[in-house]
Structure 1
Amino acid sequence: MASLSLNSSPLPHPSQPQKLTETTLLRGGLKPIVVSGSPPTFVSAPGRRIVAVGDLHGDLAKARSALEMAGVLSSDGQNIWTGGETVLIQLGDILDRGEDEIAILSLLQSLNMQAKTEGGAVFQVNGNHETMNVEGDFRYVEPGAFDECLDFIGYLNNCENNWGEAFVGWVGVSERWKEDRMLSESYWGPWRLMKRQKGVIARSTLLRPGGPLACELAKHAVVLKVNDWVFCHGGLLPHHVAHGIERMNREVSDWMRGLNDQSGGPEIPFIATRGYDSVVWNRLYSRDTEDLEDYQSRQICAILEETLQAVGAKAMVVGHTPQTAGVNCKYNCSIWRIDVGMSSGVLNSRPEVLEIIDNKARVIRSRRDIIGELQAVDYT
């Protein structure tokens, strides 16, 4: 398993695994971030501040608000990374229920490129809505999201099919394309069904296994371990660890990139993407403990402890299940649940993010929230 440094890497082709190269000590005196696995699975980020953001579901305004609150995005609308050597982790479910999905993916890619030059990093973890879309399950796609796919393909054509330029640049032009589209709605009125069909075709082209946007998603893990913390969308279980998290990440990535199995078809990695106990669907750790019997809580706590011990982590961070009470921790704060349903397509709640510094975790609930509103938990 090769180890590679994150700081100073060229923009990879969307269909290829991420390649990283070694660098010297950073200007802040911190050692380089070292990543193992392709897609990234194990990350050593010595001395870094870590911030984790939950489900965004196509709401660009809420995504910006959360990132500004986390201190990693400028508040002037210029899409500038302000996090320095911070490591930002987004927990998946960027797709569905909102209209600006590709714009959010574009913003995160732009921030990642900027962060690398500062000694920081941006990581994304795929959720169940990413895997659903690659499977062609568009049940939760908003009409405006189909339109965004169609607009983006038009912009890609304008960029002479230069994927890297189009993908990173989309967040800066998407609003204008949306405004132009809205102005043309009166023209499209009688042909709305035809336009919607074109939008479905555009989305399928982008997100089918081997499609360019699916290949972007393939660069991201379903399980990511950063220092002593493990991040995933739904929840990691002992049998996932026994299967091998690097192997599981690679299997999902290969499927998204359209690599064929021996039978000639794309093999869907069920252990990660299908079923109630798969990594992206599991809600075991996110259940309301008030609805559980004492013996059930003890069983869940034991499963969580076994999982963390097996993967060598002190705590796990998950999204997937909206927490109406906000970001919270359970089971002796071995699990943090950070999906607050912030998207207007879910609960339209105020953004919250989790911050981890020196293995102490706290919740940030506002831009003024310099001292956490929830107790800081020390894992050292």
Structure 2
Amino acid sequence: MAAFALNFAQIHAVSRSKFVVQCCSPSQVPQINGGVVKPIPIVVTGDPPTFVSAPQRRIVAVGDLHGDLSQTRSALQMAGLLSSDGFYWTGRDTILVQVGDILDRGEHEIAILSLLKSLNVQAKSQGGAVFQVNGNHETMNIEGDFRYVDPGAFDECADFVEYLEQYKGSWDDAFLNWIYVSEVWREEHASGDNKWSPWNIVKRQKGVVARSALFSPGGVLACELSRHPVVLKVNDWIFCHGGLLPHHVKYGVERMNKEVSNWMRGPKQEIDGPKMPFIALRGYDSVVWSRLYSREPNPLQHQPWKISSIAEKTLGEIKAKGMVVGHTPQANGANSKYDSRVWCIDVGMSSGVLNSSPEVLEIVDNKARVLKRHRDSFDELAVVDYL
């Protein structure tokens, strides 16, 4: 059982609250009188990251992925960020933001987490970056709420624990390599009996125990998720899973991110460990659960003008132009609401949700547009909602 008591000391908190990415894509280096000047670096403030200054960068945001590796790759390839083989960053100095809910409803959650981390390492070498925002399904799993876990995801957890037992390197190396290793393991297991029958109790128990060890506060994957915020501001745009409200801004977004991260990292000197930050993680108006902006307004509760006023107040207080959220599948595709202050980009692309065609949001020069495949041609992009 030692394998299930994983507590990798290799996962450390970043010691500084601000760090700088100094590199950039050669094609983006400004030219002045034939000479090359130093690029404007990306500056990241907060631990986990909270404020990002990324001048002159294209931003791409992708919604809820829910364990569907194939749809994840399709979305990133459509945005020009991922190679055709599904492993390598092709986005140069683009900033990619994923707005949460990588977990649950699909089989390949850890593979997606590994892929995004690998792409971040590659992107940084070209002046770009990949950021993740934690959603309600990430926090539910750390609480031990496994109601929406796909049976195949329990199997992936058991395989991942077995892989970690065999791996002799550091945690970062092991986690980065899982996206490659998992492909081989899936092929090897494809011919076997991987179905969960009511009588396959041992296999089911092994997966549940493995998941509990990995995702409980202080577990290796809980610690990995603790590196990501629940609210991220990139340039003039806010990214969060559910929605940011005025009382969140008043409480302090960096404070919320820090408290959520500490809770995920698990017990330290406190007897019961860090407390769960209610304002961020619990309740209909918390950051990861709010649907105020993403669902159709209920006239008995909130008139559209009132929601628009709340969005305007929130963005004004945090000095942002727009907000990008996931959480609520949009049956008609990604869209903007409330005078284009809020963009809703969860299109239910996972096969465990709506299995809809992938769509992403692209932001260039503070103008946002939705990219999706053209209905009549998979090789052509259709651009909508350009503002």
2:384 to 360, 366, 374: 374
* Counterpart in the other structure of 1:55: 64
**CA shift at 1:181, angstroms?**
2.9
Letter in 2 for 1:309: G
* Counterpart in the other structure of 1:330: 337
Matched, 1:207 2:215: yes
* Counterpart in the other structure of 2:285: 277
* Counterpart in the other structure of 2:146: 138
SS of structure 1 residue aligned to 2:125? helix
SS of structure 2 residue aligned to 1:66? helix
Is the helix fraction higher in 1 or 2? 1
Matched, 1:16 2:13: yes
* Counterpart in the other structure of 2:181: 173
Matched, 1:67 2:76: yes
Q: Using a 3 Å threshold, how does the CA distance of structure 1 residues 18 and 324 change in structure 2: closer, same or farther?
A: farther
Distance 2:195 2:245 in 1: 52
Percent identity between the aligned chains? 62
SS of structure 2 residue aligned to 1:118? coil
Letter in 2 for 1:62: Q
1:226 to 217, 229, 234: 234
**Which stretch of the first structure deviates more once superposed, 133-142 or 263-272?**
263-272
Letter in 1 for 2:336: C
* Counterpart in the other structure of 1:245: 253
1:41 to 36, 45, 50: 50
**CA shift at 1:163, angstroms?**
1.6
**CA shift at 1:182, angstroms?**
3.9
Q: Using a 3 Å threshold, how does the CA distance of structure 1 residues 22 and 308 change in structure 2: closer, same or farther?
A: closer
* Counterpart in the other structure of 1:321: 328
Distance 1:178 1:44 in 2: 39
* Counterpart in the other structure of 1:111: 119
Q: Using a 3 Å threshold, how does the CA distance of structure 1 residues 239 and 192 change in structure 2: closer, same or farther?
A: same
2:371 to 355, 360, 364: 364
* Counterpart in the other structure of 2:104: 96
Confirm or deny: 8 A CA contact 2:21 2:124 kept in the other structure.
no
Q: Using a 3 Å threshold, how does the CA distance of structure 1 residues 281 and 152 change in structure 2: closer, same or farther?
A: same
Q: Using a 3 Å threshold, how does the CA distance of structure 1 residues 24 and 297 change in structure 2: closer, same or farther?
A: closer
**CA shift at 1:162, angstroms?**
3.0
Deviations 1:135-161 (A, max 9, x none): 000000011000000001111122126
Compute the TM-score of the two structures, normalised by the length of structure 1. Answer: 0.90
Distance 1:65 1:55 in 2: 13
Distance 1:295 1:197 in 2: 45
Letter in 2 for 1:243: Y
Confirm or deny: 8 A CA contact 1:261 1:267 kept in the other structure.
no
Distance 1:133 1:146 in 2: 12
Gaps of 5+ in 2: 1-8, 30-38
Distance 2:109 2:369 in 1: 28
**Which stretch of the first structure deviates more once superposed, 291-300 or 337-346?**
291-300
Q: Using a 3 Å threshold, how does the CA distance of structure 1 residues 71 and 25 change in structure 2: closer, same or farther?
A: closer
* Count of matched residue positions in the alignment of Structure 1 and Structure 2: 363
Q: Using a 3 Å threshold, how does the CA distance of structure 1 residues 373 and 215 change in structure 2: closer, same or farther?
A: same
SS of structure 2 residue aligned to 1:131? helix
**CA shift at 1:287, angstroms?**
1.7
**CA shift at 1:266, angstroms?**
3.3
Confirm or deny: 8 A CA contact 1:52 1:90 kept in the other structure.
yes
1:193 to 201, 207, 213: 201
Aligned-residue RMSD, C-alpha: 2.2
**CA shift at 1:91, angstroms?**
0.5
Letter in 1 for 2:314: T
Deviations 1:94-148 (A, max 9, x none): 0000000000000000000000000000000000000000000000001100000
**CA shift at 1:191, angstroms?**
6.5
Q: Using a 3 Å threshold, how does the CA distance of structure 1 residues 163 and 262 change in structure 2: closer, same or farther?
A: closer
Distance 1:53 1:187 in 2: 31
Compute the TM-score of the two structures, normalised by the length of structure 2. Answer: 0.89
SS of structure 2 residue aligned to 1:171? helix
SS of structure 2 residue aligned to 1:313? coil
1:300 to 298, 301, 307: 307
Distance 2:89 2:233 in 1: 23
SS of structure 2 residue aligned to 1:105? helix
Letter in 2 for 1:37: G
**Which stretch of the first structure deviates more once superposed, 68-77 or 257-266?**
257-266
Letter in 1 for 2:385: Q
Distance 1:116 1:322 in 2: 31
Letter in 2 for 1:315: G
Distance 2:142 2:179 in 1: 22
Confirm or deny: 8 A CA contact 1:361 1:376 kept in the other structure.
yes
